[in-house]
């Protein structure tokens, strides 16, 4: 397996204090990798580090063979990484359609095919194109957020808690869409609060605690490990 | 007071003055929406724009109306340069520092105008324009032009922000700056664009102030308070708010003459500002809180 996204021995944080101490994560094309761990473990911070939102003091981030450590966000997007943050992940004052247009901001020429694909993934949104995104329900807002990130046909998709606060129905729907996206050849890295469900659906997993890798491996093995279940998955 | 004199002496002058405030307030609101600070050099930038237009009329012999688009363009570019020179390196610091820096820029601009054009009042055209009389409504040609151009500029801006890719990027940057970056928007370009638009509109507001009254080095400084009051009344970051706010402040100033002496007109803008900040800090259109 050759990794598409590689985070190697990252150390860094916000300002002077370190949040990540020695973090290494790899994601290959066509796989879903879940990061789980307790609150404040640094899961979101790990994702933000890719987009240069924190001071990285050691280690490196690469996409394919290209080192992208410290790149400006718009260059990282151009390199094929799209990111759905945990909070504030839509343009809430703009319409659903405009959110998708912003997702396609870096595309040159006609992007109606990408738009059509996104509406096919999220058929509920087809009738809401002109609606202000911030007025939609929580599940629909999450779909807008994912749709925006998919407009560029990314190679790597970063999802930070895509199912937080959603009903089981929406949660299953988001997971199913993620599988479809993976099967189209995208590498997906996601952070999940619902650790058990996430490991049940991901291919591989990382358990993070206090800014370090604690366990990693095939998701089914992590899920079956009694020790991990007791410590991190709520029994 | 009969209908005609209400329109002729209060409503019409109020709307004209209000459009001038609105053009400035849109710039203030845009700068805040994108960069999140109050730009206090906006009044003196309007003075600068007005005098640049004057320079085009005297040096190139253009008519004032022909000088306007050139002054709008020149001031827009000049605003980008001001940003690069004085504000760009403060971007990562607390916003209050840039606000204070903009006071410094205001003083520099004013001194520049005073050195180049002096401190005496002047005007674009000599002589008195007679008002046209339409069914008892008395309106001067430059008042009509002020309104028409202000409307055209607002419509053009609206179309740009809702139809153009970079216009949408500006709205996105105002709505959710981080997500705009994650979508690949280059914020340096959005900032430059914001200054071109804000600077251009600012020049237009200064030009029309000069056209409807007279040109002097303190003209822009004198409208800074009502312009800010208009932006805050409408809701900071809201363009439609800046327009409505401008008109309300303009009309309120004219009507205030009925109860307070004319020299204290500006008190009404101050009063509006105070009331809004106390009772509805997000303004009429629920803007961002300063
Ligand atoms: N912008 C920030 N500035 C400073 N510290 C921050 C910032 N964001 C997060 N932190 C701190 O970094 C640590 C890790 O936070 P992070 O958000 O990465 O955790 P998380 O694992 O995503 O938690 P959660 O499950 O609650 O989302 C926390 O102690 C948090 O307080
Ligand atoms: Mg988090």
Q: What is the 3-state secondary structure (H, E, C) of chain A?
A: CCEEEEEEEEEEEECCEEEEEEEEEEEECCCEEEEECCCCCCHHHHHHHHCCCCEEEEEEEEECCEECCCCCHHHHHHCCEEEECCCCCCCCCCEHHHHHHHHCCCCCCCCHHHHHHHHHHCHHHHHHCCCEHHHCCHHHHHHHHHHHHHCCCCCEEEEECCCCCCCHHHHHHHHHHHHHHHHCCCEEEEECCCHHHHHHHCCEEEEEECCEEEEEEEHHHHHHCHHHHHHHCCC
Cβ of residue A39 lying under 6 Å from some atom of ligand 1? yes
User: Does A7 contact ligand 1 (Cβ within 6 A)?
Assistant: no
Buried/exposed code over B222-255 (b: 16+ C-beta within 10 A; e: otherwise): ebbbbbbbbbbbbbbbbbebbbbbbbbbbbbbbb
Q: How far apart are CA A111 and CA A103, in angstroms?
A: 10
pLDDT interval class at A225 (50, 70, 90):
confident
Task: Please give the average per-residue pLDDT across A185-214, as a whole number.
Answer: 91
| CA–CA gap between residue B76 and residue B231 (Å, rounded) | 20
Q: What is the mean pLDDT of chain A?
A: 92
- The string of pLDDT tens digits covering residues B225-265 is 999 999 999 999 999 999 999 999 999 999 999 898 888 88
- Which of A71, A86, A91 is most worth mutating to test chain B (most B CB atoms within 10 A of its CB)? A91
Q: Where are the domains of chain B?
A: 3-119+134-216
Residue A50 C-alpha to ligand 2 middle, in angstroms? 14
A193 CA: nearest ligand 1 atom: 25
Closest C-alpha to ligand 1, atom 19: A40
Instruction: Give residues with Cβ within 8 angstroms of A2, minimum separation 6.
Output: A28
Question: Which residue in chain A is spatially nearest to B172 when comparing CA positions?
Answer: A91
pLDDT of residue A194: 84
- Which pLDDT tens digits describe chain B residue by residue (290 residues)? 788 888 888 999 999 999 999 999 999 999 999 999 999 999 999 999 999 999 999 999 999 999 999 999 999 999 999 999 999 999 999 999 999 999 999 999 999 999 999 999 999 987 777 888 888 888 899 999 999 999 999 999 999 999 999 999 999 999 999 999 999 999 999 999 999 999 999 999 999 999 999 999 999 999 999 999 999 999 999 999 999 999 999 999 999 998 988 888 889 999 999 999 999 999 999 887 65
- % chain A with pLDDT above 70: 98
Of A11 and B134, the structure prediction assigns the larger pLDDT to: A11
CA of B181 to the centre of ligand 1 (A): 20
Give the number of A-B residue pairs with CB atoms closer than 8 Å.
62
A1 pLDDT tier (thresholds 50, 70, 90): low
**The pLDDT of residue A235 is above 60:** no
Long-range contacts: A57-60, Cβ < 8 Å, 24+? A57/A11, A57/A12, A57/A13, A57/A18, A58/A9, A58/A10, A58/A11, A58/A12, A59/A7, A59/A8, A59/A9, A59/A10, A59/A11, A59/A12, A59/A22, A59/A23, A59/A24, A60/A6, A60/A7, A60/A8, A60/A9, A60/A10
Distance B55 CA to ligand 2 centre (A): 57
Counting ligands in written order, which one lies closest to the CA of residue A35?
1
Number of domains in chain A: 1
Q: Would you call A130 an interface residue with chain B, using a CB distance cutoff of 8 Å?
A: no
Provide the ipTM.
0.93
Residues from chain A contacting residue B168 (CB–CB below 8 Å): 94, 98, 101-102
Return the pLDDT at A234. Answer: 67
Task: Quote the pLDDT of residue A128.
Answer: 96
Contacts of A78 (CB under 8 A, 6+ apart): A106, B184
CATH number for the domain that contains residue A159? 3.40.50.300
**What pLDDT score was predicted for residue A195?**
86
Tens-digit pLDDT profile for residues A97-152: 999 999 999 999 899 999 999 999 999 999 999 999 999 999 999 999 999 999 99
d(CA A141, nearest CA chain B) in Å? 14
Judged against a pLDDT cut of 70, whether residue A96 lies above it is answered with yes
pLDDT of residue A213: 87
Among the partner residues B168, B179, B181, nearest to A98 by beta-carbon distance: B168
Helix (H) or strand (E) holding B144: helix B141-163
Q: Is the CB of A89 under 6 A from ligand 1?
A: no
- Owning domain of residue A180: 3-232
Asked whether the beta carbons of residue B184 and residue A91 sit closer than 8 angstroms, the reply is: no
Instruction: Tell me what the pLDDT averaged over chain B comes to.
Output: 94
DSSP reduced 3-state for B138:
strand
């Amino acid at each position: 397996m050759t990794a598409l996204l590689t985070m190697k021995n990252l150390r860094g944080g916000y300002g002077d204090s370190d949040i990540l101490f020695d973090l290494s994560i790899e994601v290959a094309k066509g796989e879903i990798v879940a990061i789980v761990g307790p609150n404040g473990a640094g899961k979101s911070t790990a994702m933000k580090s890719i987009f240069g939102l924190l001071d990285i003091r050691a280690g490196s981030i690469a996409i394919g063979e290209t080192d992208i450590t410290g790149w400006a966000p718009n260059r990282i997007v151009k390199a094929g990484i799209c990111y759905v943050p945990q909070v504030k992940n839509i343009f809430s004052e703009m319409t659903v359609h405009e959110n998708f247009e912003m997702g396609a901001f870096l595309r040159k020429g006609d992007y109606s095919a990408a738009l059509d694909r996104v509406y096919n993934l999220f058929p509920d949104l087809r009738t809401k194109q002109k609606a202000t995104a911030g007025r939609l329900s929580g599940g629909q807002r999450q779909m807008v957020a994912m749709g925006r990130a998919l407009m560029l046909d990314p190679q790597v998709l970063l999802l930070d808690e895509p199912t937080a606060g959603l009903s089981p129905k929406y949660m299953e729907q988001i997971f199913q869409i993620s599988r479809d996206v993976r099967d189209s050849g995208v590498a997906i890295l996601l952070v999940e609060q619902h650790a058990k469900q996430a490991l049940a659906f991901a291919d591989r997993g990382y358990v993070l605690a206090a800014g370090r890798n604690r366990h990693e491996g095939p998701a089914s093995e992590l899920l079956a490990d009694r020790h991990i279940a007791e410590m991190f998955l709520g029994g | 007071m009969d209908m005609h004199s209400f329109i002729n002496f209060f409503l019409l002058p109020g709307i004209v003055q209000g459009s001038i405030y609105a053009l400035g307030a849109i710039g203030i609101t845009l700068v805040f929406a994108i960069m999140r600070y109050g730009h206090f050099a906006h009044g003196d930038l309007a003075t600068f724009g007005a005098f640049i237009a004057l320079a085009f009329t005297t040096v190139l012999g253009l008519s004032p109306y022909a000088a306007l688009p050139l002054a709008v363009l020149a001031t827009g570019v000049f605003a980008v340069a001001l940003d690069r020179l004085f504000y760009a390196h403060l971007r990562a610091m607390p916003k209050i520092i840039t606000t204070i820096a903009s006071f410094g820029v205001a003083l520099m601009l004013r001194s520049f105008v005073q050195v180049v054009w002096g401190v005496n009042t002047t005007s674009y055209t000599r002589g008195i324009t007679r008002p046209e009389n339409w069914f008892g409504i008395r309106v001067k040609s430059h008042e009509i032009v002020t309104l028409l151009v202000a409307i055209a500029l607002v419509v053009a801006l609206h179309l740009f922000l809702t139809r153009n890719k970079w216009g949408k990027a500006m709205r996105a940057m105002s709505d959710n700056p981080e997500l705009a970056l994650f979508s690949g928007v280059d914020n340096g370009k959005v900032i430059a664009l914001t200054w071109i638009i804000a600077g251009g509109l600012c020049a237009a507001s200064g030009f029309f102030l000069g056209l409807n009254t007279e040109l002097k080095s303190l003209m822009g400084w004198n409208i800074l308070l009502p312009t800010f009051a208009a932006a805050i009344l409408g809701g900071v970051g809201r363009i439609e708010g800046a327009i409505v706010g401008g008109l309300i402040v303009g009309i309120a100033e004219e009507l205030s003459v009925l109860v307070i002496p004319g020299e204290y007109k500006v008190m009404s803008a101050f009063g509006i500002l105070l009331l809004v900040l106390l009772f509805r800090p997000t303004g009429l259109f629920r803007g961002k809180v300063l």
